[in-house]
Amino acid sequence: MFNKVLIANRGEIALRVIRACKELGIRTVAVFSEPDRESVHVAMADEAFCVGPAAATHSYLSIPNIISAALVSGAEAIHPGYGFLAENSNFAEICTSHKLKFIGPTPQAMDMMGNKSRARSVMSQAGVPIMPGTGDIESDEDAIAFARQAGFPVMIKATAGGGGKGMRVVHDAASLLKALGTARAEAHAAFGDDHVYLEKFLPEARHIEIQVLADEHGNVLHLGERDCSVQRRNQKLIEEAPSGVVDEPLRAAMAEAALRGARAAGYTSAGTIEFLLDQRDNSFYFLEMNTRIQVEHPVTEMVTGIDLVKAQIRVAAGEPLGIGQEDIRLKGHAVECRINAEDAERGFAPSTGRIEHLHLPGGPGVRMDTHIGPGYKVLPFYDSLLGKVICHGADREEALARMNRALEEFRAEGVLTTAPFLRTIINNAFFRKNKIHTTFVENLSATPALAAIH
């Protein structure tokens, strides 16, 4: 096991990794930008190094600064968390060249899955169902030809994308070319790569993802599924485990497809294979593989009892998983709500400022993963995520009752948050009946309660 790990991140995920390291008896090294000097993850770590000014490009994305901090501190490994450098294969290779273990998959697996067009090809060859789509679009004529052949609507996706960037749903030929230009520009700004491809779009599909865990000894397991269908602008708001629409035969089929895909990628560490589920006939299609810990990993932890971050660290240290597929049991139901500093009534515009008063929820079955406290400054430089409320119950009804209570208890005065909006969703009749899909939030005409707050 490692003696010292550097966490190349900030916020709640940095604190989450520090806690896992402490339980494993590992000393921790935090990095921080100048405005984050007083952050909780800095105070909780055994050591901390400033890696630059506020702009992430000069701090949390500065590979030379982070590698220097690791070497000076004597860290043996780096955990990237999610976001920032978590899926940067170049960073992983540089870690290796400096004899630092990257806590995650190999650079080769990251490259294979990071290019969405290549990932589709790998999965198809492994027998994983893929959505009808294209390779990288080379011309407007190719895009129009595919859209007419597949039928509208279609989705434009950034080849190097993630987090909803460079994605557009197009419903007719007249808007396709304009949307292609917009998606390419957004993809280039977000990823430095303007390549895009097209897929057939299912308007009322479920977004189902399978959590996989693999070690360096050839063992690959799945930990069931998460339902991440409640989204806005292709970014997840609420996640559940297990899904209320996935029965045992479907779970087995999706899990087996995910395991085939993970093996085909030569994958190690924790990873997530995402699918779209067509609720009309239970057919499912590969979307992408996330080669990192997910924001929504706690719901899987709550229903399986397995600490995914500790598992990542153990795998990186060369340990076998130590469990078999028969040891994985799903117990109860878990729900996660992401609370962001945003104004839901103004199109989820970011809200910045100082949190003057804070009350966090608690009680039976309630977990709050957050890095904020009274006096915390919400800055405009980083993601607006303030924390995640995770509730577990014997069944979905109990988990949602606890979530409703937890969101009501949450107070953060000084900034606007999405907590009231999330509570409205939780209490929506369609949501309670599990009548949700990926366009649920956008389709406000079918959800009058949401329309009132939107």
Q: Are 445 and 451 in contact (CB under 8 A)?
A: yes
Determine the 3-state secondary structure of 223 from DSSP. Answer: strand
Q: What letter represents residue 50's amino acid?
A: C
User: Distance between CA 362 and CA 302 in Å, rounded?
Assistant: 15
Neighbours of 165 (CB within 10 A): 18
DSSP 237-301: EEEEES-TT--HHHHHHHHHHHHHHHHHTT--EEEEEEEEEETTTTEEEEEEEE-S--TTHHHHH
The upper half-sphere exposure of residue 240, i.e. CA atoms within 13 Å in the direction of its Cβ, equals: 27
Phi and psi for 430 in degrees, rounded to 5? Answer: -65, -40
Whose structure tokens read 């169902």?
129
Amino acid in position 319: E
First-to-last alpha carbon distance for the chain, in angstroms, is: 49
Q: Cα-flanking dihedrals φ and ψ of residue 79, to 5°?
A: -100, 125
Q: 206, 277 in Cβ contact below 8 A?
A: yes
Q: Is 153 exposed, middle or buried (0-12, 13-18, 19+ CB in 10 A)?
A: middle
Contact call for residues 55 and 62 (beta carbons, < 8 A) = no
- What separation in angstroms does the CA of 270 have from each of 43, 168, 301, 313, 314? 27, 29, 12, 10, 11
What are the phi and psi torsion angles at 289 (to 5°)?
-120, 130
In three-state secondary structure terms, 172 is coil
CB atoms < 10 A from the CB of 391, how many?
29
Name the packing angle between helices 107-114 and 89-97 (round to 10°). Answer: 170
Told to judge if 292 belongs to the known catalytic residues of this protein, a careful annotator would answer: yes
- Choosing from 206, 226, 251, 292, which is the catalytic residue? 292
Nearest CA to 409 out of 372, 370, 361 is that of 361
Q: Strands 4-7, 27-33: parallel, antiparallel or unpaired by DSSP?
A: parallel
The helix (H) or strand (E) run that includes residue 181 is helix 173-191
Q: CA–CA separation, 364 vs 401, rounded Å? A: 11
Active site residues: 292
